[in-house]
Structure 1
């Protein structure tokens, strides 16, 4: 599995995929990424240390992802990241977190100190409450994008799922385009779960929103590994 990459086009940064403890929720109906989680802290820290050795700091920005939230990354691995950020003069650090950790984000900012901007992505998937929590079983219970914006700089959307509608996608894209600093759109790819891709909806999305490929603030993943990490 690829766990390090350097992104040089949109939003240049280094990105690492680390191993971490199991996702606090782990029940999203569409997700099988949690298979990368572990309970062996020593093994995780050893692997993560090898991955983190690749970081050069040349772009000044580092994104750290794992199959869950940043609060599940072992403390030993976070200490290594903290040291590398200081040594390599990294000024901006991106993490991802589940909604349930929203009141702990400041803890992570405090851990890395005032000289580093710590920013957060969140897997919203959609701002349609019923589809997000009822079908996708996301357990992210907010009523509006304004609530999300209080805590997170960058929502991640998912498009092209059977049961999703064009109207949902239109609204989601409009929100991310107009009200957030950054955003990611994940085009759904079939995996081992029972949630299925809607190819007709994907085609409509690609025809309608191809212009987002040129938007400097929105990254579109047509495959799960488009950031150069994962399997």
Structure 2
């Protein structure tokens, strides 16, 4: 049984909901077992999501919506309910996840929630194009000008670190690029999850020694465990 609602009360205070959605448009990332939460049953999706959204109080005026895909895979009824709650609870800031392929459609969401600050997050996982495509199976290339361009559209990016095949230099470079270009960075230390990607424990030890100071950096959310946000589906 999973947990679909939580409050983040330390850095970046907000409420967070993990919602069900239609299958991720891409759905081929080699490290992801998250898409098992997807469904084609619209009725079932909405029942689960209404239950989770009922718990939102609006106390921080900030709500983060995550789902196993992008905001564009949420059902119409779920989006309507989020909109209703945003108005009723006076929510000022909304976080949503998007996939790179949707980068040209962000204005649709901004128009749907007028008067609300929308903060889009995207999993780039790494800025090393070869590693992203070859190992993570995320099929998009970003040149420097692309990074600069999307930094104007996205609030934050997610990095996936400490997997076998990565080097210290790659991780250092990823963190440097993310901090220089984006207002927020989520860094996930990989946990073995039954996919083909494997955790590198030596890199984990090095990373924690070198980068544990990032826990006090206001731009960074450092997740030592993928359950650190308090929402997960088992």
So what's the TM-score if we normalise by structure 2?
0.96
Residues 132-211 of structure 1: pairs in structure 2 closer than 5 A: 132-144=132-144, 145-211=147-213
List gaps (5 residues or longer) in structure 1: none
Query: Aligned partners of 1:148 and 1:70: how far apart in 2?
Result: 17
Does the alignment pair 1:214 with 2:213? Answer: no
Query: Aligned partners of 1:55 and 1:140: how far apart in 2?
Result: 35
Q: How many residues align?
A: 230
Query: Aligned partners of 1:39 and 1:191: how far apart in 2?
Result: 23
Deviation readout 1:74-93 (Å, 9 max, x if unpaired): 11000000000000000000
SS at match of 1:16: strand
So what's the TM-score if we normalise by structure 1?
0.98
**Moved beyond 4 Å, runs of 4+:** none
Query: Aligned partners of 2:94 and 2:165: how far apart in 1?
Result: 35
Partner of 1:39: 40
Partner of 1:123: 123
SS at match of 1:80: helix
Partner of 1:11: 12
Q: What CA RMSD, in Å, does the superposition of the two structures yield over aligned residues? A: 0.9
Residues 70-81 of structure 1: pairs in structure 2 closer than 5 A: 70-81=71-82
Deviation readout 1:98-152 (Å, 9 max, x if unpaired): 0000000110110111x10111000010000000112111123221321331321
Partner of 1:88: 89
